[in-house]
Structure 1
Amino acid sequence: MTHERKVPISALNIAMHEPHSPQAYVDLMLGLYAMRRIVNVRTLTGVLIGSMYPFDRRHPDRGLTGEIYQFTNLDRSEPWFDVNALDEASEDDVKDIKIPDHLKPHLARFNYVFFPHGHRFYVQTRNKNRTLGVQSVLKFFRLLLSDESAPQSPPIEVTVEPDRDTIAQILKIKYLKRLEITLVRPNPDDLSVAEKRLLKKLSHQGARQMDVRLHADSSQNLEPDVETVTLAKVAASNGAVVGSGRDAANNPVLMSTVDQPWKEVAHFDEDVQTEKAAIIAKAQEMHQKVRG
C-alpha cells in the first residue's frame, strides 16, 4: 500500500540589478540567513529562515536549500481572554504567565530551494494542515531586504512567478479593452534577444521601471503588437500585467498575473522518498521550465 503525499510549490523571482553573479546571489542569501531576523507577515505570524545549506559545499552556486519557519509571534501588550469568565483576563490572572522570549508556539516548517543561476526561490506552501502563502513569502523577503542590517548589494526586485499560461489567457480575452503593464528592470541573464532590447531601452534612459497602459477606443478592441506582447511576457516575471474586457458572452473579465501565482505539486510515496527529496526534484523540474 502506497502512502502518496502531495506538496504544493510556488516560486519567487529574486532579481539583482547589475553587477551580479551566481556567487553574489549565494552571498546575498547566506547574508539574509545570518541575520536571524523574525519578520511578521501578519499581525501575529512570524517568519524566519530557519536553515540553509548548499547542495554541494564545494559549489554553493549549484543551489541552496533549507526550511522557512512559521510560528505565532505573541504580542505581550495585547489582552488575554479568560474562557471561563468569558471576559478579558485581569492583571492578577496573567501576572504569573512566564513565556521566554526565545520560545514561539505553533511552529510549522516549509522547505525551499534557491538556484543562484536563474535566481528563483521555490517554496513549499503547505505542510499537512499548515499553509504559508507565496504572497506571505514575498512580503517576508521584501521586508527583510529593506532592513538596515540586510547585506549590501545592488538593488533587488522580488516578484511572484505567475502561472505560465496567464499572459496567453489575458491576450485571449475576446474583447480586450484595457492592458496595463508594469515592467521592473529585469535581470539580463534570463532574457532573449528581443527581451534584452527592452532592458537596454530602460538602462539607457536610467529607468528602473516602465509603465504602459493601453485603453481601447469605445468602438474597438485592443490588438497588442509583437513589441507589446514581448513586454508583457517579460513583465509577467518582472512586474505585473493586468488585462480587462469582456468574454464571448459579454461578461466582464479582469485578469492579473499578480492573482495567478505559479503552482505545481510534488507527488511522492513516503515509503520510498523523503519530502525534501521530492521538493528538490520538483523545484529542479520547475527551474528547467523557467530557463527554457
Structure 2
Amino acid sequence: MARNFKVEVAAINIRIPEDKKRDYEALIETIARLRRGVRVYGDTHVVISSYSRKENTGVISKYTEIDLDGDWFNQNSFDAATPEQLSEINIPNHLKPNYASFYFSLDPKEHVLAFTSYAGAKALSTKGVEKFFKTAVTWREVKSEFGRVEADLIKDYGAVEDILNLPHLKELEFIIRPPNNDDIGSTLAAVIEESLREQNADEYEEKLKAKGKKNINPNKRTRALGNVAAENGEFRAKNLEKGMKVSYNTADKPLTEMEIHTKEASDLSVFRIVAKKIFGKISAKREEVRRITATE
C-alpha cells in the first residue's frame, strides 16, 4: 500500500511602494543574489538558496548555525568536554548542520510568495519565513533599489470570519501596514493612505469598541477591513464570554493550503498544485474586498 505524504503551503504578501518600480522578480532575485541568511529563532537560520526568474520558483533553505566557541557536552563522560577533546573538532565554517530545503513560488501579479511550510516530515516555520523577508527587505542593497518594502504573512481568512461572527464582540482592532492599492480598491486605499500621509505614520490603526450591554455588529466595510489586515498587518478582537473579555488574534493563524499525495508524484509538482490553490484563494478574496469597498 502506497504511503501518503502531506504538503502544506503558506504565503507572504510583499509590497513595493508606488514610487518605485514594482518589479517583484527583480526584488526576489536581489535577495537571493545576496546569499545572506537570517537567524529566525534560536540557532536556526533561513536563506534563499536558489531562484529561477524564468520559472518564478526557488528554494528556501533552513540550517543551524553552531557556536563552535561555546561549551560542548561529552556524552561518554556525561560532563563538559575538555580542551583536548575540543581540539579534535574540525568543522569547516562553510558547512552547516540540520539542512532542509523547501520550494517557493512567486506570483508577480498578486505580489505574493507561496512557500512550503511542511513536506516530507520536515517543517518550515511560517513566522520564521516572515521574519526572514521582513529583515531582507531592510538590507541596504534592497532599500536603495526598491525603497521601503513591506512583507507580511497572510493570515487565514476563515479565522477572520470566525472572529467577526462571535456573538458578543466588544473590541475590534485593525493594524494595517501600507497595502497595495490594487488589492483593496481605491476607496479604502485613499482613506488609509491619507491617514498615514497626514500623520507621517507607518501603520494605520482603526478601533471599534462597544460599552455596557452593547455588542459590535460588523458591517461589510469592517469585514473587508479584517481581510485587509489579515494580508497587511494584524487583526485583534475581544469577545465577552462568561463575564470575561477573551482576546483573539489572527497572528498565529496563517492562511495555508494542503495536499495529500503519494511518492509517485514529485515534491515540486505537488507544491505547484498547492501553490496554485493558495494564489487562487488570495486573488478571489482581494476581488471580493474590492467589490465590497467600492459600494461602501
Structure 1 length as normaliser, TM-score?
0.88
* Structure 1 Cα separation of the partners of residues 28 and 214 of structure 2: 48
Which residue of the partner structure matches residue 151 of structure 2? 158
* Gaps in structure 1 of 5+ consecutive residues: 58-62
Which residue of the partner structure matches residue 182 of structure 1? 175
Which residue of the partner structure matches residue 125 of structure 2? 133
Which residue of the partner structure matches residue 95 of structure 1? 87
Which residue of the partner structure matches residue 13 of structure 1? 13
Which residue of the partner structure matches residue 238 of structure 1? 232
Q: Is the 8 A contact 1:110 1:125 kept in 2?
A: yes
Q: Is the 8 A contact 2:178 2:193 kept in 1?
A: no
* Deviations, residues 99-119 of structure 1 (Å, cap 9, x unaligned): 111111111111111111111
Q: CA deviation at 1:134?
A: 0.5
* Gaps in structure 2 of 5+ consecutive residues: 285-296
Which residue of the partner structure matches residue 221 of structure 1? 215
Runs of 4+ in 1 over 4 A off after TM superposition: 249-252
Q: CA deviation at 1:204?
A: 5.2
Check 1:88–1:148 CA distance in 2 against 1; reply closer, same or farther (3 A cut): farther
* Structure 2 Cα separation of the partners of residues 29 and 36 of structure 1: 11
Q: CA deviation at 1:194?
A: 3.9
- Equivalences, count: 282
After superposing the two structures, state which structure 1 stretch, 66-75 or 184-193, moved more.
184-193
* Structure 2 Cα separation of the partners of residues 232 and 129 of structure 1: 33
SS of the counterpart of 1:98?
coil
Which residue of the partner structure matches residue 288 of structure 2? none
Q: CA deviation at 1:268?
A: 2.7
Which residue of the partner structure matches residue 60 of structure 1? none
Q: Does 1:39 align with 2:33?
A: no
Check 1:2–1:130 CA distance in 2 against 1; reply closer, same or farther (3 A cut): closer
* Structure 1 Cα separation of the partners of residues 15 and 120 of structure 2: 31
* Structure 1 Cα separation of the partners of residues 142 and 85 of structure 2: 41
Q: Is the 8 A contact 1:28 1:151 kept in 2?
A: no
Q: Superposition RMSD on alpha carbons, in Å?
A: 2.1
Structure 2 length as normaliser, TM-score?
0.87
SS of the counterpart of 1:28?
helix
Q: Is the 8 A contact 1:202 1:208 kept in 2?
A: no
In the TM superposition, 1:114-133 aligns within 5 A as 114-133=106-125
Q: CA deviation at 1:136?
A: 0.5
Q: Which amino acid aligns with 2:172?
A: L
SS of the counterpart of 1:67?
strand
Q: Is the 8 A contact 2:11 2:112 kept in 1?
A: yes
In the TM superposition, 1:74-113 aligns within 5 A as 74-113=66-105
Which residue of the partner structure matches residue 285 of structure 1? 277
Identity of aligned residues (%): 26
Q: CA deviation at 1:151?
A: 5.2
* Deviations, residues 216-240 of structure 1 (Å, cap 9, x unaligned): 2123212334443332221121111
Check 1:132–1:89 CA distance in 2 against 1; reply closer, same or farther (3 A cut): same
SS of the counterpart of 2:137?
helix
